Amino acid sequence: QVQLVESGGGSVQPGDSLRLSCVASGRPLSSHEMAWFRQAPGKEREFVARISWNNAFTDYKDSVKGRFIISRGDNQSTAYLQMNSLKPEDTAVYYCAMRLRGSSTHDYWGQGTQVTVSS
């Protein structure tokens, strides 16, 4: 069993930045893909960013490319999502997720952290 806990959300103005954190326990982050998803009110959950188990590559939703950066901490127990130039359409609950090697779906999810971007 893996536990994921997100933090770092908040209410900001357009153009501001936030850094989300996801602390994992139970399994090392270095052996698993980590990803960020988000869900806006009345919308389905959508993919935002992912980083491979060995940090060899990252992938992003088109609308956040150049603005968001996913990374891992030095001890591999924490994943981050640096969000720059935030826009109102980025408003959502952000979830971190872990996919075990060989799994077809994301196996573990955090409880989410709210990000609100408004003037």
User: pLDDT digits over 21-77, tens only?
Assistant: 999 888 665 578 999 999 999 999 999 999 998 888 999 999 999 999 999 987 777
35-63 as b/e: b if 16+ CB within 10 A: bbbbeeeeeeeeebbbbebeeeeeebeee
| Mean of the per-residue pLDDT values of the chain | 92
Mean pLDDT calculated for residue range 106-112? 94
pLDDT of residue 27: 64
Which tokens is 29 given? 């982050």
Mean pLDDT calculated for residue range 8-13? 98
Identify the CA nearest to 63 among candidates 51, 77, 75, 47. Answer: 47
pLDDT of residue 77: 79
pLDDT of residue 28: 60
Give the model's confidence band at 100: pLDDT under 50 very low, under 70 low, under 90 confident, else very high.
confident
